[in-house]
Amino acid sequence: MTVDVIGGEDLTADDDPRHGEIALVPVGLRLRSRVLALGPHPTQRRYSGVPTDTLPPAERDPAQHPVAITEDGVPVGFFALQGGPGAGRLIRGRQDMLLRAFFVDASRQGQGIAPAALRVLPEYLARFDPAIRRVVLTVNTDNGPAIRAYLRAGFTDTGELFHGGVYGPQHVFALSVGPPDRR
Ligand SMILES: CC(C)(COP(=O)(O)OP(=O)(O)OC[C@H]1O[C@@H](n2cnc3c(N)ncnc32)[C@H](O)[C@@H]1OP(=O)(O)O)[C@@H](O)C(=O)NCCC(=O)NCCS
């Protein structure tokens, strides 16, 4: 599997025969309509929302950066990165980013796409903004598939529980990124 990141050479990650080339690509005009057509299973909407609701505000907010997960160039998932005060109290400063609205399209789940996308997130961030040192996210305590996918990708449980969500308590997970000597 090769993985594209913004403006750079392809990066090689592990091979997983269940999916094609996974890349992270900023959502621009070229991908926008295809991203808007994606969504998780209806019962999972409470975890991530759907791009028709989450993409437009991310596009309007200069502190957010909408990202498509693509397989062989075709969008199969979505998330947004958010920094700054609007991201909430879990974001401690300029070096932190919140990962939100993350999902893989219902038709492509269970094939290792989320872990593949998350594994290249550090490289993506290094090119997007080298000052970033930590990615933070919240995940509902009853969302086992997402918890496992994040842990597989190297996120760790901070031990904190976030009670600000509408659908129950959420774990706070974090991933250190950037040069190891600067973390
Ligand atoms: C969580 C999610 C991103 C995982 O993506 P993925 O590409 O399917 O990840 P994986 O292929 O590694 O599958 C993760 C686990 O979920 C299981 N799984 C995947 N799709 C599933 C489904 N629709 N129903 C039940 N289990 C499912 C897989 O079998 C795997 O189980 P395992 O950990 O026991 O091996 C994806 O299921 C999703 O988009 N869910 C809805 C939105 C969501 O919960 N987002 C997270 C917000 S914090």
Atom of ligand 1 nearest to the CA of 18: 11
Q: Is there a domain that residue 95 lies in? A: yes
| Residue among 111, 155, 59 nearest 68 (CA) | 59
Mean pLDDT of 116-133: 95
Q: Mean pLDDT, the chain, as a whole number?
A: 91
Q: For the domain that residue 105 is a member of, what is the CATH number?
A: 3.40.630.30
Tell me which residues have their CB closer than 6 angstroms to ligand 1. 40-41, 44, 47-48, 102-104, 109-115, 139, 143, 145-146, 148-149
Nearest CA to ligand 1 atom 39: 103
Query: What would the two tokens of residue 144 be?
Result: 């086992």
Domain that holds residue 26: 2-130
Residue 2 CA to ligand 1 center (angstroms) comes to 22
| Residue among 106, 76, 91, 104 nearest 138 (CA) | 91
User: CA-to-CA distance for 57 and 72, rounded, in angstroms?
Assistant: 27
Residue 95 contacts residue 132 (beta carbons within 8 Å): yes
Mean pLDDT of 10-21: 71
At residue 96, the 3 state secondary structure works out as: strand
The more confident residue out of 112 and 11 is: 112
Q: Is there a domain that residue 11 lies in? A: yes
Q: Is there a domain that residue 14 lies in? A: yes
Mean pLDDT of 108-126: 95
Question: Number of structural domains, the chain?
Answer: 1
Q: Is there a domain that residue 119 lies in? A: yes
Give 174's pLDDT tier (boundaries 50, 70, 90): very high
At residue 111, the 3 state secondary structure works out as: coil
Q: Is there a domain that residue 101 lies in? A: yes
pTM: 0.91
The string of pLDDT tens digits covering residues 101-114 is: 999 999 999 999 99
Mean pLDDT of 157-171: 93
Residue 108 CA to ligand 1 center (angstroms) comes to 10
Residue 103 CA to ligand 1 center (angstroms) comes to 8
Residue 181 CA to ligand 1 center (angstroms) comes to 33
The string of pLDDT tens digits covering residues 37-54 is: 999 999 999 999 999 999
Residue 94 CA to ligand 1 center (angstroms) comes to 30
Ligand 1 pocket test, pick from 41, 109, 137, 150 with the greatest ligand atom count within 8 Å of Cβ, gives 109
